[in-house]
Chain A
């Protein structure tokens, strides 16, 4: 069984020095004054600086060289008088594991990184950069693996039927602002586990969140039902009233009946329904005053099938 440590080792072989190094390198020239080096080091809070002539590396100078210069008491000194010439370097295409060995052997604080072909300085790398680069890659791999593990395609491929759908339902409590948004954020995680494309998840999450907030703010409560097939995601939001008097007006950008307390909480700007429409491929709003409102949304999830998109305006 593959352990985490194996995984880390694998990453150290897979990642190159060029992936983990810092690309914005502070450099000095061989003819710069030592005083300037002193300034650069304190401004950028760094302890070692590559010395560059043209684009070629001429040497490296560190805080210990700076201290040697300061204690020697020589004014008007130049960087080239104190730098280490022909320093040990790494190449951007070497695996990180190689860099770790070199740090271990030579106990240096940093290595300049060169491009193998041109021999030019392209970056600098410290032990900290190696750790950070490895952690980032680990996290990224972990996220990808997590998504892979629960792919919707598995669900739809492994189970056989003439028609297959998955329905998840939530109960929304009216005026319960503390828990408002729970259904949408939970659903967002579910869709991620099901392996839907990030852009589809985002649109679905925004549309359902706006719809959920509407139920919480304006109604006595209701339900949200998400139905996923291999072709589309359907969201049906039903509430128990009071209903919308003029749907056409409610759909207008900026039209709102929100009370001041709703606005103070950051909602009720009259953007909800237009935004829901923008995020969905199909939207239908039915309302009976005194009874309630039913909102039906569809978002196409057919993989890479642009032709199925009914609403070309839908944002990505």
Chain B
């Protein structure tokens, strides 16, 4: 699916985006509240879902090359976080669904985990 469809599915409020980004394909997702876990992965997901709500999620996404972040359970995202998203050009959205429900809905719609396809150098 494309990001625009994922947004509809999660009934998400988009907090920051550029319209072209909404056409990006979403195949692989990652769900975690620990950013160092995300950074230690081998493959980059198209979307990150998290219950952790601070600017470091955006910085982690930027550093790791993740284009879109979903904050679950309604966020809330503050201005600092939005400013950071603007700086790093990361799509930010919030959904009222829990992490469990958000992941479940995306999985049911065909999105898969990033770990299923390891991208190791060896």
Contacts and interface: CB of A to CB of B under 8 A. Distances in A.
Given A181-B59, A188-B62, A266-B56, A210 B20 contact: no
Contacts of A268: 36
Best-surrounded residue of A132, A184, A266, A316 (most CB of chain B within 10 A): A266
Q: Is the interface of B mostly helix, strand, loop or mixed?
A: helix
Contacts of A206: 39, 63-64
Interface residues of B, number: 30
Q: Give the bracket for the number of chain A residues in contact with chain B.
A: 20 to 34
A210 B37 CA distance: 11
B121 A181 contact: no
A271 B37 CA distance: 7
B53 to A, nearest CB: 10
Q: Is the interface of A mostly helix, strand, loop or mixed?
A: helix
Interface string A196-228: 001000100110011001000000000000000
A205 B63 contact: yes
A263 B56 CA distance: 13
Interface in B23-69: 23, 33-37, 39-40, 42, 50, 52, 54-57, 59-60, 62-65
26 contacts: A135-B19, A136-B23, A181-B56, A185-B59, A185-B88, A206-B63, A206-B64, A210-B36, A210-B39, A266-B34, A266-B52, A267-B36, A267-B56, A268-B36, A269-B34, A269-B37, A271-B34, A275-B39, A275-B40, A278-B40, A312-B121, A313-B122, A315-B42, A315-B121, A316-B119, A316-B121
Interface of B: 19-20, 23, 33-37, 39-40, 42, 50, 52, 54-57, 59-60, 62-65, 80, 87-88, 119-122
